[in-house]
Amino acid sequence: MMTIAAARALRDGARCFVGIGRPSTAANLARRTHAPDLVLIYESGTIGAKPGTLPLSIGDGVLAETADTVVSVPEIFNYWLQPGRIDVGFLGAAQIDRYGNINTTVIGDDYRSPRVRLPGAGGAPEIAASCREVIVVVKQSPRAFVERVDFVTSVGYGSGPGDRARLGLTGRGPALVITDLGIMEPDPETAELTLTQVHPGVAPAQATAATGWPLAVAGTLSTTPEPTAAELAALRDLNRQAGP
């Protein structure tokens, strides 16, 4: 449901900077269902990739072979991402906080002596800064949804309203946080992530229990429409091609 909800969030024709894993699956699902003209951009420099099978990495040969153009890594960041040419940045997270700040660097208080060393930033800080908007896809648990992230790898809304403008970040920031339980959106006044939608069969209390801060719940809470047969078939097809 998380992947399908993420795919639905991508409008046809959008230019989408895609990370590997669930974001890539969701973006490819969108391209095969409602958004055939979605432009997939991977940080390896492939612009307009149209993979027939799901890539395991951001630099698989199928991305280069099917792309409109392949550019260097400095070019993808400097010419395409930095000036705001990309509509949507798709990110994952190890931790995310109530203002949508993301940690993919270390778990623990001491950077020099971390409890868990994570892969690090990659392209995420600048994707979070410069894409017109950001969609975060992450499985919901109190360990992942924390009051304060241990390390700010990528900025969401900082410490609250106005922080992005103060920092000079050009993009709008996280517009949607899509989890396995529902969808959160930033409150227009407080910038705090607020539960606005639950997936079928999920009670709001499940979402609040899986969040490490007192999660605000919108007054009118919608329910994600059930997956359609076409979406399920396209997703099965993608996963089957990805192999066991």
Query: Minimum CB separation from other proteins for residue 214, in Å?
Result: 25
For position 168 contacting other proteins by CB under 8 A, the verdict is yes
How far is it, in rounded angstroms, from Cα 158 to Cα 102?
Answer: 10
- Among the listed residues 48, 92, 122, 212, the single contact to other proteins using CB under 8 A: 122
The answer to whether 184 contacts other proteins (rule: CB under 8 A) is: no
One of 43, 126, 192, 231 is an active-site residue; which one?
43
Instruction: Indicate whether 66 belongs to the interface with other proteins (CB under 8 A).
Output: no
Q: How would you classify the pairing of strands 182-186 and 193-198?
A: antiparallel
Q: Which stretch binds other proteins (CB under 8 A): 25-33, 121-129, 134-142, 184-192?
A: 121-129
Question: Which residue is listed with tokens 């990528």?
Answer: 154
Other CB atoms within 10 A of residue 232 CB: 12
Our answer to whether residue 231 is catalytic in this structure is no
Over the window 30 to 59, marking each residue x when it contacts other proteins by CB under 8 A and - when it does not, the resulting string is: -------------xxxx--------xxxxx
Burial of 66: CB neighbours in 10 Å, binned 0-12, 13-18, 19+:
middle
**Cβ closest to other proteins, residue 20 vs residue 35:** 20
* 3-class SS of residue 128: helix
The CB-of-18 to other proteins minimum distance in angstroms stands at: 13
Q: Is 87 in the site for other proteins (CB under 8 A)?
A: no
For residues 5 and 105, what is the distance between their CA atoms, to the nearest angstrom? 27
Q: Which of 161, 172, 179 is nearest to 92 (CA)?
A: 179
Binding-site size, other proteins (CB under 8 A): 53
Closer residue to other proteins, CB minimum distance, 65 or 147: 65
Contact 207, 198 (CB under 8 A): yes
For other proteins, the closer of residues 21 and 48 by Cβ is: 21
Tell me whether residue 56 or residue 232 sits nearer to other proteins (CB atom): 56
Contacts (CB under 8 A) with other proteins, residues 193-222: none
Instruction: Please identify, among the stretches 166-174, 202-210, 216-224, 230-238, the one whose residues bind other proteins according to the rule CB under 8 A.
Output: 166-174
Tracing tokens 């403008």 back to the chain, one arrives at 165
Which has the closest alpha carbon to 23: 40, 36, 35, 47? 40
Contacts of 41 (CB under 8 A, 6+ apart): 15, 16, 17, 18, 47, 48, 49, 76, 80, 86
Q: Which residues are catalytic?
A: 43
Please give the residue ranges that form the binding site for other proteins (CB under 8 A).
Answer: 20-21, 43-46, 55-61, 63-65, 69-70, 72-74, 77-78, 81-82, 105, 111, 113-114, 116-126, 129-130, 151-155, 158, 163, 167-170
